[in-house]
């Protein structure tokens, strides 16, 4: 008997207690709608980087983008005149994670459309990313993507 009374009480509250009349209901203002739209846009990243193989003459054949980035821009790279990631990015996975984080953080202002649908993304991160090509500490990272958002290369900028 107690269960039946509880059921009817909850049903009554759900049906009659939660309805708002039109006079009590408030429409969201234009400002709150705009703020909600911005929040939804920032919740979804504008670019989701993909990973695959690309041909790099410097590496004699098909090389995964992350391998190319590692060979060319790791902190111990033997290449001259290139930027280098900080020692804190001492693995390919840590660099890959940085690239993903930068793409998630990128705004429309950080993304430049290039010829053939390619994109260049330049993002300022909170932590240092490494040394620029001139050997100066930097918090920026530059990422080059093809027209399908596959990562081609990335480096501290």
The DSSP line for the chain is -HHHHHHHHHHHIIIIIS---TTT--PPPHHHHHHHHHHHHHHS-S---B--EEEEGGGTEEEEHHHHHHHHHSTT---SS--EE-TT--SHHHHHHHHHHHHHH--GGGEEE-GGG-EEEEEE-SS--EE-TTS-EE-EEEEEE-TT-BEEEEEE-
In the prediction, which pLDDT does 63 show?
A: 81
Contact 94, 88 (CB under 8 A): yes
Residue by residue, pLDDT tens for the chain (157 residues) are 544 444 445 444 444 454 444 444 454 555 554 444 444 444 567 999 999 877 666 667 778 899 999 999 999 999 999 999 999 999 999 999 999 999 999 999 999 999 999 999 999 999 999 999 999 999 999 999 999 999 999 999 9
In the prediction, which pLDDT does 45 show?
A: 78
């Amino acid at each position: 008997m107690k269960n039946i009374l509880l059921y009817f009480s909850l049903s009554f509250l759900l049906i009659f207690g939660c309805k708002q009349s039109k006079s009590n209901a408030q429409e969201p203002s234009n400002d709150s709608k705009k703020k909600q739209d911005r929040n939804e846009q920032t919740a979804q990243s504008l670019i989701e980087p993909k990973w695959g193989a690309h041909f790099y003459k410097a590496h004699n054949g098909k090389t995964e983008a992350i391998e190319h980035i590692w060979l060319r821009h790791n902190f111990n790279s033997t290449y001259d005149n290139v930027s280098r990631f900080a020692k804190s990015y001492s693995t390919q996975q840590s660099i890959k994670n940085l690239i993903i984080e930068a793409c998630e953080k990128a705004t429309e202002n950080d993304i430049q459309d290039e010829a053939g649908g390619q994109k260049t993304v330049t993002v300022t991160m909170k932590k240092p990313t490494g040394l620029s090509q001139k050997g100066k500490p930097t918090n920026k990272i530059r990422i080059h993507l093809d027209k399908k958002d596959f990562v081609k290369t990335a480096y501290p900028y």
